[in-house]
Structure 1
Amino acid sequence: MIKIVGLGPGSSGDLTLKTLDIMKSAKKVYIRTFKHPNVEYIRNSGIEFETFDDMYDSAEDFDALYLEIATKVASEDNVVYAVPGHPLVAEKSVQHIIKICEENGKEYEIVTALSFIDAVVSAIKIDPITGLKIIDGLQLDTQEPDINVSNIVTQVYSPFIACDIKIKLMDYYDDEQEVYLIRAAGVEGLEKIEKMFLYEIDRADWVDYLTSLYIPPCTKNRKYNFNDLVSVMKTLRSEEGCPWDREQTHKSLERYLVEECYEVLDAIRKDDIDNLSEELGDVLLQVVFHSEIAREYDGFNIRDVVHGITKKMIDRHTHIFGEDKCETSGEVLSNWDKIKMKEKSQETYTQVLKDIPLSFPSLMRALKLQEKVKKVGFEFPHIEDTISKIQEEFEEVLKAHKNGNNKELEEEIGDLLFSVVNFSRFLSINPEICLTNTIEKFIKRFEYIENKVLESGKTLNEATLGEMDRLWNEAKGIKEGI
């Protein structure tokens, strides 16, 4: 039997009689650390014990340390293990002991005590029923605060750790968010509570192993999060919301989603990071907008969307979340395609080709299709073959034009464009980007023509084709950037 007891927040008056009786009658007592106000009182009560403080200096990290402590404690019989506060509140070593005992069929008993959370709640005078989240300050990479409720951040051991906690919290709060730094809550003579701004918490020289951080619900200077965006959209779509937003449907929003996606691409092409952030927000708004409409009419909501894409990423990365082995990007893509075909119940490759969206720009759809058929070996063996195909299709375009058959000409121009896409793909060049670059180049050269014509005192309508052609050739000779 292992008995695990709590020493309370730090005041000797918070030690329970049961805990003291158990420790006095125990064959052996371990206390995790001597650094707790009640430990001196326990020693003066005549209780003999050992601590694990000597292990702290040699441990690589706290996780490894707590597992090592737990392993030692769980290996013994009829032992008492004492920890600060409540055994089940912010005590990883206790969780390790419980797991080891349950795996090995060993008995254990948890003896309750006041936790430091009780002391903090009492010191700050808050009611947890209004919402309270407790976060391990050393786990902020995986534990996120909730800005809409009270948060208590534990393990603020030192100014150095406080600095790291501050930086991570600034992803969620304004740097002038009011917070309370609390040391030794409930311990007479040691308790210290100071209200300050978030950016100041690592400047307090009294921060130690008994320190926690309390953050009230954020009511001003909010850093809005995803839930806020969803809430705003619900408001806009409500009876008291915006007339325009309420009128929209999946169909009416089509053009905006396409436009926003292209604006994202434009920001990427211009390497405009600030604008990219804004444009990605616009795309995200469209996702939330469609999801809110669907919540009202179609039976799914934004949580379903997030769940679906997360599950898809896990299911299709079996080399990360499963047992498949993929060493190269090519193997990853091949595995992805196999999983995708299975998910969509696609038994033939023609079904894969038909699944390429009709709404894609034609150049993009042609490129996607050619990439698909390449994977099953339907591919010219040499790039020279693609060049010959372009020449062949061009001759057929000229022939159709000479015959004056517009229907045939339309078909042959399509074949020529398809062949040009294939040539581009062989060179790992995206034809959509090529054409976009050419359009931009055309606009720049035409701008040069217009400026020169206007400088001469004419309008474009007054300039001759010969004059404009001369200026065009002049523009071609000038380096890009005019």
Structure 2
Amino acid sequence: MLIEVVGLGPGDESTMPLSTWKTLQESRSPIILRTKIHPSVPALTEAGISFTTFDHLYEQHGDFETLYEQMAEELLRLATQHKKVIYAVPGHPRVAEQSVELLLKKATACGVEVHVGAGQSFLDPLCTAIGLDPIAGLLLLDGTQLHITELQPGVHTLIAQVYSPAVASDVKLTLMEVYPDEHEVTVLSAVGVAGEESVTSVPLYELDRLTEIHHLTTVYVPPVQNLSEKARHPLYLADIVARLRHPLDGCPWDLAQTHETLIPYATEEAYEVAQAVLEDDPAHLQEELGDLLLQVLLHAQIAAENGDFTLQDVFFGLAEKLVRRHPHVFGQQSASNAEEAEAMWKSAKAEEKQRDSLSLEGNETPLSRMSDVQTGQDALNYAFDVQKRAAKVGFEWNCIEDVLEKLREEIIEFEEALNQNDSKALTEELGDLFFTLVNLSRWLKMHPEMVLRKAVIKFVRRFERVEQAVHESGRTWQEYRLDELDQLWQNAKL
């Protein structure tokens, strides 16, 4: 059983390979055309070549994937019935021809051979019409299945299969997610067909308003040139960050940053995102999300320079995690509400931690009680949660007096480090002091975050009163002695 696939070429019979013409003319086997709507078909009819088509299937299906699936199955059925059939498609059988791709995938399982013959693709006349050498970088995409993730605005792009204004409208909307509305695109219809060829350049937003769009239409999207156009692509943004970190002529501030020095900025930007959400300010939220993304890009760039990982590794790891933790979306399980979905997420996360706990010898080791404490939170909350977890197993002071004694001990150790001017010891001892204060607040059943926040609010309120007093005095801050400012502060407390 054999299916011989041949290409009709991109235009009329003059673009059809001689081998295809001979195959069709000499065939004693059934000939099936994917569609009779092709410039070369009248010549086949005039030559007395008999054929059937799949045109009737186009009216039965609302999506092309199902349509091409049925074409492949029908071809395999006919091959089983007639032992050999000829399948003729527009252009080249292996260029933008999904029905052939599906046929090749299904044929092996059915025991049917598929021979792919010659054909001239639409690429040659298209590249000639727009004056493009494909070696400059060419991306070919299917307009019926176009997705934003496929777009690369820095390279020449051809979007084929733009069969109708409806498809053109979908293509336009997808392109406008990445390209500016005014970006000029070229619509090429019936290229290579004498007397019918149409080449029209329009702004992107007018793409679906043209009347020349039909089954032989392809859209050419030239690469973007200026910053305002390029900046819509996330990887171009990553390139900007890499440029800022260039060792020869990058930004001195960006070059001075490390993972550690960036920690305060990441937490600060996360809080500002939360604030923008609470303010219900979309424009502010957009800006703050960009600032938060900058922190991700900076950390990824520093890691790439150190040889640790790349931004692509970050993308890959996150994508894998999202798929793994959503078995109700990407697997066979189901979740009918948010609670069930969250339970599946936690279950998948627990399984990951259990796998991670295996030792190098393959022996299972118990998970630490700290393994599921959320590390992605501010230090006060993190310390609070860690101490609560330790206290559950009795790793705890006997009474609050013991905590106060520990606090006094940490103050003494901090003073010693301060006297020695030991920056490393100062950092460690100050951290111990903070940690003990968190413990004290926990003993008092007061959350350290709220305690500190109230203290900050109180300070701001009093400081504003001092500012007001300075303003009303007509004097500048520099004109006040420290004892005078202290008196204003004491007054603000009343």
Q: Same fold (TM over 0.5)?
A: yes
Q: CA deviation at 1:237?
A: 2.0
Question: Is 1:88–1:95's contact at 8 Å kept on the other side of the alignment?
Answer: yes
CA 1:439/1:181 → structure 2, altered by over 3 Å: closer, same or farther? farther
Q: Secondary structure at the match of 1:179?
A: strand
TM-score calculated relative to the size of structure 1: 0.79
Please identify, of 154-163 and 410-419, the stretch whose mean Cα deviation from structure 2 is larger: 410-419
Query: Structure 1, residues 49-89: CA drift from partner, whole Å, max 9, x if none?
Result: 11122221222322111111111111123111111111112
1:293 alignment partner in structure 2: 302
Please identify, of 73-82 and 293-302, the stretch whose mean Cα deviation from structure 2 is larger: 293-302
CA–CA distance in 1 between the matches of 2:112 and 2:7?
A: 20
CA 1:344/1:123 → structure 2, altered by over 3 Å: closer, same or farther? same
Please identify, of 440-449 and 224-233, the stretch whose mean Cα deviation from structure 2 is larger: 440-449
Q: Does 1:195 align with 2:201?
A: yes
Question: Is 1:184–1:190's contact at 8 Å kept on the other side of the alignment?
Answer: yes
1:283 alignment partner in structure 2: 292
CA–CA distance in 2 between the matches of 1:190 and 1:246?
A: 58
Q: Secondary structure at the match of 1:194?
A: strand
The partner residue of 2:379 within 322, 343, 361 is: 361
Matched residue type, 1:176 = E
CA–CA distance in 1 between the matches of 2:454 and 2:18?
A: 84
Q: CA deviation at 1:415?
A: 5.1
1:336 alignment partner in structure 2: 348
Q: Structure 1 vs Structure 2: percent identity of aligned residues?
A: 32
The partner residue of 2:366 within 333, 340, 348 is: 348
CA–CA distance in 1 between the matches of 2:452 and 2:341?
A: 28
2:241 alignment partner in structure 1: 233
What is the correspondence of 1:37-436 to structure 2 with a 5 Å cutoff? Answer: 37-77=39-79, 78-141=84-147, 144-220=150-226, 221-224=228-231, 225-238=233-246, 239-322=248-331, 328-345=340-357, 347-353=365-371, 357=375, 360-367=378-385, 414=439, 416-417=441-442, 420=445, 432=449
Q: CA deviation at 1:257?
A: 2.3
Query: Structure 1, residues 135-189: CA drift from partner, whole Å, max 9, x if none?
Result: 1112123652211110001122222221221111011111111111110111111
CA 1:400/1:435 → structure 2, altered by over 3 Å: closer, same or farther? closer
CA 1:228/1:234 → structure 2, altered by over 3 Å: closer, same or farther? same
CA 1:81/1:443 → structure 2, altered by over 3 Å: closer, same or farther? farther
Query: Structure 1, residues 254-308: CA drift from partner, whole Å, max 9, x if none?
Result: 3222322222222223222222222222222222222222222243222222222
Tell me the matched-pair count: 440
Matched residue type, 1:19 = T
Q: CA deviation at 1:350?
A: 3.3
Question: Is 1:363–1:421's contact at 8 Å kept on the other side of the alignment?
Answer: no
Q: Which structure 1 segments of 5+ residues have no match?
A: 380-392, 423-430, 470-482
Q: CA deviation at 1:14?
A: 0.6
CA–CA distance in 1 between the matches of 2:370 and 2:442?
A: 22
CA 1:94/1:271 → structure 2, altered by over 3 Å: closer, same or farther? same
What is the correspondence of 1:452-463 to structure 2 with a 5 Å cutoff? Answer: none
1:480 alignment partner in structure 2: none
Q: Secondary structure at the match of 1:157?
A: coil
How well do the aligned residues superpose, as a CA RMSD in angstroms? 3.7
CA–CA distance in 2 between the matches of 1:279 and 1:464?
A: 35
Q: CA deviation at 1:7?
A: 0.9
CA–CA distance in 2 between the matches of 1:13 and 1:19?
A: 12
CA–CA distance in 2 between the matches of 1:358 and 1:306?
A: 18
CA 1:55/1:228 → structure 2, altered by over 3 Å: closer, same or farther? same
CA 1:87/1:337 → structure 2, altered by over 3 Å: closer, same or farther? closer
CA 1:435/1:179 → structure 2, altered by over 3 Å: closer, same or farther? farther
Q: CA deviation at 1:337?
A: 3.6
Question: Is 1:366–1:421's contact at 8 Å kept on the other side of the alignment?
Answer: no
CA–CA distance in 2 between the matches of 1:132 and 1:93?
A: 23
1:11 alignment partner in structure 2: 12
Q: Secondary structure at the match of 1:76?
A: helix
Question: Is 2:326–2:341's contact at 8 Å kept on the other side of the alignment?
Answer: no
Q: Secondary structure at the match of 1:166?
A: helix
Q: Secondary structure at the match of 2:187?
A: strand
Matched residue type, 1:414 = N
TM-score calculated relative to the size of structure 2: 0.77
